[in-house]
Structure 1
Amino acid sequence: MTTLITGGVVEQLTEVATAVEAVHPRHGRMGSRVTKFSSRKNRSVVVCDSLLEAAFCLELERRNDVVHYEAHPYTLKFIRTNYRYTPDFLVCFANGSQRLVEVKNDESFEDKATSARITRYAELLATRGCMLEYLAASHFYQKIRTANLAFLYHQSFPSNGESTAKLCALLASRQQPTSIGDLLNLGFLPGNIAHAVFYGALDIDLSNAITCSTRVRNKRQRPP
C-alpha cells in the first residue's frame, strides 16, 4: 500500500479538492498492462498501469532536479462537482516544489473529449497554484531511444557512479573518437559505463541501437 503524501500539492488544494488514497491498478486498461518499475531514486517499486507510464519513470530517474515521484499518488475529489481524478504522477523537485503529471498516448492526447477533461482539471488545480502537466507520448517516448534507456538503466544497477569522473577525464584527454568497446577494452565495467551514460555524464546517440561500436563522448563534446 502506498502512503498518501500530505503537504505540498494536497495542502494547496484544500479549498477545491480533497485527496483520498488511490486504488492501484491490478489489470491494465485495454491496450496496456500493469508494469512494476524498480525505482532506484525512490528505493521502491513503482506500480504503473501501462508501459507508457513505465517509460516516463525512466525520464524521471534521469532528471537531476527530481528527488522523488509516485505513480497514482491519490485520487482528487473536486468540491461541488462530480469530478474525480487520479493523476498519473506526483513529481517532487529538489527546490521543494511539486507537480502533477498526466501522460497519454498520442491518440488519446489528440482526442478532444479527453483533452477537454484534463484541461478542466488543470484549470481547477491552477486556481490554487497547482500545476498539472499534460504530456503526449511523443514528448518523451521513441521506441529505440526508450529501449536504449531501459537497457542502460538496468545495466547501471551494479554501479553507484564510482567511475564517472575517470570516464569523463579519459574522454576529455583523448583526441580520437572513443567507442563503448574501447572503454571495455580499457577495463571499465559495463555497469559503470551504463551509469555514466544513463545519468547524463556521457553522451551517446540514443536513436540507434547500442553496440560496442557506439561512440561515446562527454556531454559538452560535439559528435565528430
Structure 2
Amino acid sequence: MEKNTAFSRASRYGCCGNHLVLFPSRKNKCQLRCNSMLEADYCINLEYDHEVVRYTTNVPSIKFLVGNKLHSYTADFIVETQESINYIEIKPDFTTLSARTQEKLNRGKEALSTQGTPLRYASLETIRNGCCFRNKEFLYFNSFHVSRDELGYCMQFISEIQYPTSISEIIKNNHHPSLKSLYLAIFIRQLDFNMKKIISPVSLLQQGVNYPNAADIDTSR
C-alpha cells in the first residue's frame, strides 16, 4: 500500500478547549496525542483489531469550497488496514450535532469521497461497548513491559496445557507464566474467552487463534 505521509510526521497538538491525552500505542510504537478520552478509548479498539496495521491522529486537513469561500475539515484519525485507508470522525453522539457541525461533516465526507477515501463515524456507544470494551481496556493497560522471553515462555506454556482452563488454574502451576504475559496473550487472542462478560480469575479460557505471531508484538512498552 502506498505510504501516507501523515504517518511519518509528528502528531498534532491538542486544539484549544480540548483535553489532551497521550495514548501509548504498541502498533505505532509511540505515544499518540488524542484530543479527548473518547479518542484514547478508540485507540484501544484499534490496538485490539488485528486488521488494523497502524493509525494516526496526525490528520491533514481537507480543503473545499462552499460558494466562493474556502473551508477546511480535519478528521480525528487515519486508520490503515491491509486493504484500505479510512478517515475517522469521533463524536459522543452524532444525533445531537448542530446543523453547522453536521454540514461541515457532510462537506468533509464529500471532499474525501472525491479522493476515493471514506469517512467513517465512531460514537461513544460504538467505542465503549459495554463489557467488551472494559475487558479490552483492562487487558491492554495491564499487559505492558512484557519481555520477549516472558511472552515466548507464555506462548510455549499455553500451547501445552489442556483446555478449557482459567487464569486461576494456570497460576496454580509452580512454573506458570507471569500474569501480565497472560493478559497480553488474551489481548492478542492467543487465548480466548467470552468478551461479553467481565474477565475474572475463573473466566473460562480456550485456545485462541495464531494471530499475531508473538514475535510481531512490540513488548518494549
State the TM-score, normalizing by the size of structure 1: 0.74
Contact 1:102 1:135 in 2 (8 A): yes
Name the counterpart of 1:194.
183
Task: From the superposition, tell whether residues 209 and 28 of structure 1 become closer, same or farther in structure 2 (CA, over 3 Å).
Answer: farther
1:134 deviation in Å?
Answer: 1.5
**1:178 maps onto 2:186 in alignment:** no
Alignment of 1:148-167 (within 5 A): 148-159=135-146, 160=148, 161-163=151-153, 165-166=155-156
Name the counterpart of 1:204.
193
1:129 deviation in Å?
Answer: 0.6
1:132 deviation in Å?
Answer: 1.2
The 2-side partners of 1:83 and 1:212 are apart by: 53
The 2-side partners of 1:56 and 1:201 are apart by: 22
Give me the identity figure in percent: 26
The 2-side partners of 1:199 and 1:111 are apart by: 36
Name the counterpart of 2:34.
48
Unpaired runs of at least 5, structure 1: 1-5, 11-20
The 1-side partners of 2:50 and 2:30 are apart by: 18
Task: From the superposition, tell whether residues 81 and 194 of structure 1 become closer, same or farther in structure 2 (CA, over 3 Å).
Answer: farther
Name the counterpart of 1:13.
none
The 2-side partners of 1:119 and 1:216 are apart by: 44
Name the counterpart of 2:216.
none
Contact 2:62 2:112 in 1 (8 A): no
- Select 2:122's aligned residue among 135, 148, 152: 135
The 2-side partners of 1:153 and 1:23 are apart by: 24
The 1-side partners of 2:55 and 2:11 are apart by: 15
SS at match of 1:166: helix
Contact 2:62 2:108 in 1 (8 A): no
State the TM-score, normalizing by the size of structure 2: 0.75
1:126 deviation in Å?
Answer: 0.7
* Number of equivalenced pairs: 198
1:133 deviation in Å?
Answer: 1.2
Output one character per residue of 1:174-201: Cα deviation in whole Å (capped at 9) or x when no partner.
3xx4111112223121122111111122
